């Protein structure tokens, strides 16, 4: 009897684990495949050979892609907007969240709703576009930063967290003569590190991944982000690839390092994804906490 | 405390309350400017706006574009097509909502910690990829000329000619839902995993003593405890029924799959911004956007009402 149960359990475990391993492979395999592809001989890759590990290893793709017109610049813009944007969002949303934890704030309830409701409605694409135009934010770096300073979802998360910190700490600082800013900066910010870290990761990824602003509001190529460059290349890659095939591949055989459209877009994809893959595993433990706090509110 | 002193405390508190109010004003102003001010743009739907003109120099049309949306035969056909795409993919994604729950219920059954951690880390990763990246992934897997799947199947001589998986209009709803599922399952599952770990262990022990097997425990303990979370997430996605995102469909859109991939958001973009701001498009696109926003808000409130009735707690 007991033996039978163990066999059942064992087969359950094996099947269960296998399915999860399979799903994990489906999640990670494209990343691995692109990585191998960018390190392999482009000519082979383009000729239809199956590449499962780097064949004809070289890093020329990366060297060439970073030299491509605009990519270095786009990398810089993406990095800058991620750092600056995250800093502003973190400062703005957490300070506002702190104000909302004060019971004696004038019109607190109304203002809180005024902010939170914007999570659920928007005027629509065209009015949003007109608004940005009227504010003269088109083609400015500020358009990447200013609209995101107050993020309602983060305000909820941080407010919930600050409310769980004992009020006595704040009160004793107040008695010692600390003002609003002082209490916020020296007492609440250090104590709120877990939630601030969560929000920082969320916002970093948002900023790094955001395509919308660049797509609609920026025509100045000096302000292009890496995501936009990737989007541009991807939307043209298939057409370009066919064109090269029609050329008879004459241009391809010249050098094994010759950039193909696919190689370029795949290499850009790797450049875009690399920072995420590097930072992500270290930050992962914060997500559960952050999400749980969000789930409490629903 | 004397009444005088109490009064002083009240006024001090009031003064501080005012101060906090003023401190919040810059942020409230930002919210106003970026979330409420755009509503002014709705006025464009009531004029026959032509780019280059001042709004009030163009002809006032009243509800013309709204009427057109509902009565002009050609437009109605378009709107029907777009609506069926929007609703079709939204309904499919509602069915997908059940997957993270199943994912979480079975993941906690893995007893080998490192494997569990690894699976969780890897399956959450796609959530952090932008849609251009997801497209790059899809391209590397399914493209006709370079895709892994085609190369692999041809390598094994299962197929002779590459199949075109990205540019075909067949199964667009299914494939797009699959991309969405791939991207979000692991991430959404975190919420359920968090909920599972908060279930009282004594319940499990009691059930085991009573002789319940693995599946019975899942059915009678784990899943019922996850239902409130499931319910909230389901309601939120119903409230977002018409907002199934622009970027995904914009990026996967091409000449061949356009008819079945064009959802409301993408339609507004295609007629309003992409096709240039010529003719009636700008105003018409705004009108479509307004109807969408109104229906969305109505959905949100009805869902919130339903939630209050069922759970005694709203989601707003």
The CATH number of the domain holding residue B197 is 1.10.3720.10
Rounded distance between C-alpha atoms, residue B235 and residue B97, angstroms: 11
Domain that holds residue B133: 64-311
Question: Does A239 lie at the interface with B, CB-CB under 8 angstroms?
Answer: no
pLDDT(B233) > 90: no
Rounded distance between C-alpha atoms, residue B207 and residue B223, angstroms: 14
Do the beta carbons of residue A144 and residue A277 sit within 8 Å?
A: no
Is A87 or A170 the better-scoring residue by pLDDT? A87
Biggest CA–CA distance in chain B, Å, is 94
Tell me the shortest Cα–Cα distance from B76 to chain A, in angstroms. 21
Tell me the shortest Cα–Cα distance from B35 to chain A, in angstroms. 6
Question: Measured between CB atoms, which of B17, B27, B194 is closest to A288?
Answer: B194
Please state, as a whole number, how many other Cβ atoms lie within 10 Å of the Cβ of residue A217. Answer: 19
Question: Does A18 lie at the interface with B, CB-CB under 8 angstroms?
Answer: no
Query: Which residues, listed in sequence order, are joined to residue B60 by a DSSP beta bridge?
Result: B47
- pLDDT of B119: 93
Which of B27, B126, B257 best tests the A interface by mutation, with the highest count of A CBs <10 A?
Answer: B27
Q: How far is CA B6 from CA A171, B2, B11, in A?
A: 18, 6, 9
Question: Does B234 lie at the interface with A, CB-CB under 8 angstroms?
Answer: no
* ipTM of predicted assembly, 2 dp: 0.84
- What are the tens digits of pLDDT across the range A187-239? 999 998 888 988 898 899 899 999 989 998 999 989 999 999 888 888 776 56
Residues in chain A closer than 8 A to B304 (CB atoms)? none
Question: Does B157 lie at the interface with A, CB-CB under 8 angstroms?
Answer: no
- What are the tens digits of pLDDT across the range A229-267? 888 888 776 565 555 555 544 444 444 456 777 788 888
Question: Does A122 lie at the interface with B, CB-CB under 8 angstroms?
Answer: yes
Question: Does A278 lie at the interface with B, CB-CB under 8 angstroms?
Answer: no
Chains A and B form CB pairs within 8 A to the count of 260
B165 within domain boundaries: yes
Question: Does B132 lie at the interface with A, CB-CB under 8 angstroms?
Answer: yes
Tell me the shortest Cα–Cα distance from A70 to chain B, in angstroms. 18
Rounded distance between C-alpha atoms, residue B18 and residue B32, angstroms: 20
Tell me the shortest Cα–Cα distance from B72 to chain A, in angstroms. 22
Q: Both B149 and B248 in a single domain?
A: yes
- pLDDT of A298: 37
Q: Both B14 and B142 in a single domain?
A: no
Using pLDDT thresholds of 50, 70 and 90, give the confidence band for residue A182. Answer: very high
B174 within domain boundaries: yes
Rounded distance between C-alpha atoms, residue B227 and residue B245, angstroms: 26
Averaged pLDDT of chain B: 85
* pLDDT winner (highest mean) among A66-75, A147-156, B243-252: A147-156
Q: Please tell me the least confidently modeled range out of A244-253, B90-99, B214-223.
A: A244-253
Is B146 or A98 the better-scoring residue by pLDDT? A98
3 state DSSP class of B60: strand
Residues in chain A closer than 8 A to B190 (CB atoms)? 287-288, 291
Residues in chain B closer than 8 A to A202 (CB atoms)? none
A122·B293 Cβ contact <8 A: yes
Alpha-helix residue ranges (DSSP H) falling in chain A: 2-39, 42-46, 60-67, 71-100, 108-116, 125-134, 152-163, 167-175, 180-183, 189-191, 193-209, 212-217, 226-246, 250-253, 261-297
Interval B219-235 mean pLDDT: 86
**Which one of 1.10.8.50, 2.40.30.260, 3.40.50.720, 1.10.3720.10 gives the CATH number of domain A59-294?**
1.10.3720.10
pLDDT(B1) > 60: no
Cβ contacts of A221-224, under 8 Å, gap ≥ 24: A221/A70, A222/A73, A222/A77, A223/A77, A223/A139, A223/A140, A223/A141, A224/A70, A224/A73, A224/A74, A224/A77
Q: Both B95 and B215 in a single domain?
A: yes
Answer left, alpha or beta for residue A70, where phi above 0 means left and psi between -120 and 50 means alpha.
left
B133 within domain boundaries: yes
Interval B68-80 mean pLDDT: 85
Do the beta carbons of residue A77 and residue A223 sit within 8 Å?
A: yes
- pLDDT of A5: 60
Question: Measured between CB atoms, which of A48, A231, A262 is closest to B251?
Answer: A231
Q: Of B284, B236, B245, B239, nearest to B264 (Cα)? A: B245
Query: What part of A 162-191 touches B (C-beta under 8 Å)?
Result: 180
Tell me the shortest Cα–Cα distance from B150 to chain A, in angstroms. 9
Question: Measured between CB atoms, which of A26, A125, A284 is closest to B289?
Answer: A125
B14·A147 Cβ contact <8 A: no
Ramachandran angles phi, psi of A52, nearest 5°: -110, -15
B125·A12 Cβ contact <8 A: no
Q: Mind giving me the DSSP string for A83-113? A: HHHHHHHHHHHHHHHHHHT-TT-TTHHHHHH
- What are the tens digits of pLDDT across the range A84-111? 999 999 999 999 999 999 988 999 999 9
Query: What part of A 75-104 touches B (C-beta under 8 Å)?
Result: 92, 95-96, 99-100, 102, 104
- pLDDT of A245: 52
Rounded distance between C-alpha atoms, residue A33 and residue A43, angstroms: 16
Tokens describing residue B2: 């004397």
* pLDDT winner (highest mean) among A144-158, A271-285, B36-50, B61-75: A144-158
Residue with tokens 């786009």: A74
Domains identified in chain B, total number: 2
pLDDT(A171) > 70: yes
Answer left, alpha or beta for residue A107, where phi above 0 means left and psi between -120 and 50 means alpha.
left
Which DSSP state fits A147? G
Rounded distance between C-alpha atoms, residue A62 and residue A180, angstroms: 50
Q: Both B228 and B176 in a single domain?
A: yes
Q: Of A210, A25, A106, nearest to B24 (Cα)? A: A106
Q: Both B140 and B279 in a single domain?
A: yes
Question: Does A240 lie at the interface with B, CB-CB under 8 angstroms?
Answer: no
What length does chain A have? 298
| Strand runs labelled E in chain A | none
B206 within domain boundaries: yes
From B301, which residue of chain A is nearest by alpha-carbon distance? A120
Averaged pLDDT of chain A: 84
Rounded distance between C-alpha atoms, residue A157 and residue A236, angstroms: 40
Contacts of B264 (CB under 8 A, 6+ apart): B82, B83, B86, B242, B244, B288, B292
Q: Please tell me the least confidently modeled range out of A119-123, A233-237, B72-76.
A: A233-237
- pLDDT of B255: 81
Q: Both B19 and B89 in a single domain?
A: no
A27·B265 Cβ contact <8 A: no
B54 within domain boundaries: no
pLDDT(A65) > 90: no
Vertex A26 angle, CA A24 and A29, to 5°: 100
- pLDDT of A1: 32
- pLDDT of B34: 95
3 state DSSP class of A33: helix
B106 half-sphere exposure, CB direction, 13 A CA radius = 19
Query: What part of A 254-273 touches B (C-beta under 8 Å)?
Result: 262, 265-266, 269, 272-273
Question: Does A57 lie at the interface with B, CB-CB under 8 angstroms?
Answer: no
Tokens describing residue A192: 């709120």
B102 within domain boundaries: yes
Q: Of B135, B141, B104, nearest to B119 (Cα)? A: B104
pLDDT(B2) > 70: no
Interval B189-202 mean pLDDT: 85
Rounded distance between C-alpha atoms, residue A58 and residue B175, angstroms: 34
Tokens describing residue B249: 């469909």
Rounded distance between C-alpha atoms, residue B298 and residue A86, angstroms: 33
B190·A180 Cβ contact <8 A: no
Interval A13-39 mean pLDDT: 93
Provide the whole-model pTM: 0.85
Tell me the shortest Cα–Cα distance from B172 to chain A, in angstroms. 18
B55 within domain boundaries: no
B51 within domain boundaries: no
Q: Both B73 and B215 in a single domain?
A: yes
Question: Measured between CB atoms, which of B24, B38, B141 is closest to A96?
Answer: B24
3 state DSSP class of B47: strand
Q: Both B127 and B236 in a single domain?
A: yes
Q: Both B262 and B125 in a single domain?
A: yes
- pLDDT of A3: 41
What length does chain B have? 316
């Amino acid at each position: 009897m007991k033996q039978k149960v163990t066999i059942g359990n064992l087969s359950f475990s094996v099947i269960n684990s296998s399915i999860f391993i399979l799903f994990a492979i489906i999640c990670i395999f494209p990343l691995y495949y692109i990585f191998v592809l960018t390190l392999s001989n482009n000519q082979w890759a383009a000729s239809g050979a199956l590449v499962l590990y780097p064949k004809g290893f070289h890093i020329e793709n990366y060297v060439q892609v970073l030299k491509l017109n605009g990519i270095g610049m786009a990398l810089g813009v993406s990095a800058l907007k991620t750092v600056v944007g995250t800093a502003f969002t973190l400062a703005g949303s957490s300070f506002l969240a702190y104000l909302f934890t004060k019971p004696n704030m004038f019109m607190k309830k109304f203002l809180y709703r005024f902010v939170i409701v914007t999570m659920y409605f928007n005027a629509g694409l065209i009015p949003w576009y007109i608004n940005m135009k009227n504010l003269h934010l088109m083609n400015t770096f500020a358009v990447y930063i200013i609209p995101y300073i107050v993020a309602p979802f983060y305000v909820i998360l941080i407010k919930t967290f600050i409310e769980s910190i004992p009020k006595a700490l704040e009160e004793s600082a107040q008695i010692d003569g600390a003002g609003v800013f002082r209490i916020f900066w020296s007492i609440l910010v250090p104590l709120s590190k877990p939630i601030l870290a969560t929000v920082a990761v969320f916002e970093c990824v948002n900023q790094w991944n955001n395509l919308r602003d660049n797509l609609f509001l920026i025509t100045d190529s000096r302000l292009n982000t890496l995501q936009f460059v990737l989007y541009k290349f991807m939307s043209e890659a298939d057409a370009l690839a066919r064109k090269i095939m029609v050329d008879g591949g004459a241009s391809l055989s010249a050098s094994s390092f010759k950039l193909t459209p696919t190689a370029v877009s795949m290499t850009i994809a790797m450049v875009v994804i690399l920072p995420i893959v590097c930072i992500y595993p270290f930050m992962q433990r914060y997500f559960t906490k952050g999400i749980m706090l969000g789930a409490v509110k629903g | 405390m004397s009444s005088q002193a109490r009064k002083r405390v009240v006024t001090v508190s009031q003064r501080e309350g005012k101060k906090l109010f003023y401190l919040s004003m810059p942020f409230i102003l930002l919210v106003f400017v970026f979330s409420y001010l755009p509503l002014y743009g709705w006025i464009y739907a009531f004029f026959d706006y032509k780019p280059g003109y001042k709004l009030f120099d163009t002809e006032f049309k009243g509800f013309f574009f709204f009427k057109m949306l509902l009565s002009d035969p050609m437009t109605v056909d378009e709107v029907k097509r777009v609506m069926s795409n929007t609703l079709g993919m939204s309904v499919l994604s509602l069915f997908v909502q059940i997957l993270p729950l199943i994912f979480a219920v079975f993941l906690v059954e893995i007893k080998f910690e490192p494997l569990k951690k690894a699976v969780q880390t890897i399956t959450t990763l796609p959530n952090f990829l932008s849609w251009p990246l997801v497209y790059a992934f899809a391209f590397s897997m399914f493209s006709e000329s370079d895709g892994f799947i085609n190369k692999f199947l041809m390598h094994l001589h299962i197929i002779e000619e590459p199949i075109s998986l990205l540019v075909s209009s067949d199964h667009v709803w299914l494939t797009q839902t699959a991309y969405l599922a791939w991207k979000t399952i692991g991430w959404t599952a975190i919420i359920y995993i968090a909920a599972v770990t908060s279930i009282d262990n004594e319940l499990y022990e009691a059930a085991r003593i009573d002789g319940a097997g693995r599946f019975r425990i899942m059915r009678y303990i784990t899943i019922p405890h996850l239902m409130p979370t499931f319910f909230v997430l389901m309601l939120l996605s119903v409230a977002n029924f018409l907002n199934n995102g622009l970027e995904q469909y914009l990026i996967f859109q091409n000449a061949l799959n356009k008819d079945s991939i064009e959802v409301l958001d993408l339609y507004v973009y295609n007629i309003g911004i992409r096709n240039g701001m010529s003719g009636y498009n700008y105003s018409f696109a705004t009108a479509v956007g307004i109807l969408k926003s109104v229906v969305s808000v109505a959905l949100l409130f009805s869902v919130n009402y339903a939630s209050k009735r069922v759970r005694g707690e709203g989601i707003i």
